[in-house]
């Protein structure tokens, strides 16, 4: 009888022990899979909810041991592509459409939570002593706190796994329990076999040059076709009878001056004049959010060599200046050093330094500078910009 009791107690302790360790074992399995990966490639879609709008990105993240990263983000609304590259030289945010890149000396991605970086998810799990693992019908869900220094409203995340602890998706919630960021993974290859050569800035520059050369070749071929067509039409139009020539001679003379003027205008439009007119910002884009006791004190439009520039000056408790102009494409690949960090906005990636922030959205470049605004306030102003004439707090 005593033996039976001892065996029963032992079995109870064994079962209890397995149950108490199961959560730790499951989490350890995910952590081990990530730490054992020398390189990985993951793909998926990311949704960002902002001001009741949803911005969707296709995303591909590549990682190589020793802190190499290459993340390609493509906005599905306007096909705007940006690449975050980290290698031994620093952190770059490359916008190939503008032939430009910002270069940072930054701790990214370790200085904040990143829902599409596996090591960041592992760090969030390890850092939260109050994390909770819940078993559902078809998966496991780990709930942890998050660290978004530039957005204090984001408080926790849910990380979804299948029964084998393979990552499926991540949801980031705000204080009101609303999903603000959702990343759904379509594929994760933890043995992608990447090398350092896959993380070179020069390759991105070369790819851009090849694309530009292809576009130039296409334009040249199209122009050749157009010119041949015009030549054929001209020959056909010149085949007229003597009677028609006589009747039209006066009209030709009258139209000579008009045609010369028109040709001059066409040349202007096809060259410098067209370039400048395409760089004209038609109206000011006002922010919907302005800090309290702050107002628009002055707006000014100035002409530049490439187009125009709008300068908005805000005064009050939080002084700041907002500059807007049409985004320009650099003739040669341009690298702009920034002493700060890349910041993910809803529809683009911004470059943030100590007291300024620069970003491009919908073909408009913005520059925001202030000694009074916090980074979170700058981000809020940037997110609120839209085509509107209404300015909250104007005076």
Paired strand residues for 300: 311
What DSSP letter does each residue of 50-74 carry, written as one string? ETTEEEEEEEEEEEETTTEEEEEEE
Paired strand residues for 393: none
- Six-digit token pair at 369? 């500078």
Residue 380 has pLDDT above 80, yes or no: yes
Strand ranges (E), the chain: 39-50, 53-64, 68-75, 81-87, 90-95, 100-104, 132-135, 140-145, 154-161, 167-174, 179-189, 294-303, 308-316, 320-326, 334-338, 341-344, 349-352, 356-361, 364-369
- Find tokens 């290859």 and name the residue: 189
282-336: pLDDT as tens digits? 889 999 999 999 999 999 999 988 899 999 999 999 999 999 999 999 999 999 9
Measured CA to CA, the distance from residue 299 to residue 287 in angstroms comes to: 13
Q: Report the residue count for the chain.
A: 395
pLDDT band per the 50, 70, 90 thresholds, residue 230:
low
55-107: pLDDT as tens digits? 999 999 999 998 999 999 999 998 999 999 999 999 999 999 999 999 998 99
Reduce the secondary structure of 173-235 to three states and give it as a string: EECCCCEEEEEEEEEEECECCCCHHHHCHHHHHHHHHHHHHHHHHHHHHHHHHHHHHHHHHHH
Pairing of strands 100-104, 334-338: parallel
Tally Cβ neighbours within 10 Å of residue 155.
Answer: 16
Tally Cβ neighbours within 10 Å of residue 115.
Answer: 21
Range of lowest pLDDT (64-68, 130-134, 224-228) = 224-228
7-32: pLDDT as tens digits? 544 444 444 444 444 788 999 999 99
- Higher pLDDT residue, 230 or 289? 289
Provide the mean pLDDT of the chain. 83
């Amino acid at each position: 009888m005593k033996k039976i009791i001892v065996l029963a107690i032992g079995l109870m302790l064994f079962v209890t022990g397995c149950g108490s360790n199961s959560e730790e074992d499951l989490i350890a399995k995910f952590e081990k899979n990530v730490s054992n990966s020398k390189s990985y490639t993951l793909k998926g879609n990311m949704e960002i909810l902002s001001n009741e709008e949803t911005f969707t990105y296709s995303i591909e993240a590549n990682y190589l041991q020793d802190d190499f990263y290459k993340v390609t983000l493509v906005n599905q609304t306007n096909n705007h592509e940006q690449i975050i590259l980290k290698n031994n030289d620093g952190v770059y945010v490359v916008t190939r459409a503008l032939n430009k890149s910002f270069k940072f000396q930054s701790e990214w991605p370790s200085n904040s939570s990143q829902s599409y970086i596996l090591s960041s998810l592992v760090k969030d799990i390890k850092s939260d002593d109050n994390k909770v693992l819940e078993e559902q019908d078809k998966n496991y869900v780990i709930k942890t706190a998050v660290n978004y220094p530039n957005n204090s409203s984001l408080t926790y995340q849910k990380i979804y796994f299948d029964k084998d602890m393979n990552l499926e998706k991540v949801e980031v919630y705000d204080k009101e329990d609303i999903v603000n960021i959702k990343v759904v993974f379509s594929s994760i290859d933890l043995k992608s076999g990447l090398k350092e050569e896959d993380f070179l800035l020069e390759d991105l520059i070369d790819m851009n040059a090849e694309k530009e050369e292809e576009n130039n070749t296409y334009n040249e071929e199209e122009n050749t076709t157009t010119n041949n067509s015009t030549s054929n039409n001209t020959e056909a139009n010149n085949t007229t009878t003597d009677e028609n020539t006589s009747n039209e001679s006066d009209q030709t003379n009258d139209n000579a001056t008009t045609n010369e003027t028109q040709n001059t205008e066409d040349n202007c439009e096809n060259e410098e004049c067209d370039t400048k007119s395409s760089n004209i910002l038609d109206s000011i884009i006002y922010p919907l959010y302005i800090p309290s006791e702050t107002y628009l004190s002055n707006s000014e439009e100035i002409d530049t060599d490439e187009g125009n520039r709008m300068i908005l000056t805000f005064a009050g408790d939080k002084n700041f200046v907002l500059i807007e102009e049409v985004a320009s494409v650099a003739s040669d690949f341009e690298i702009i050093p920034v002493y700060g960090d890349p910041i993910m906005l809803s529809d683009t990636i911004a470059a943030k330094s100590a007291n300024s922030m620069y970003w491009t959205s919908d073909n408009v470049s913005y520059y925001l500078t202030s000694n009074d605004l916090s980074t979170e306030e700058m981000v809020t102003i940037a997110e609120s910009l839209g085509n509107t004439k209404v300015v909250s707090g104007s005076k």
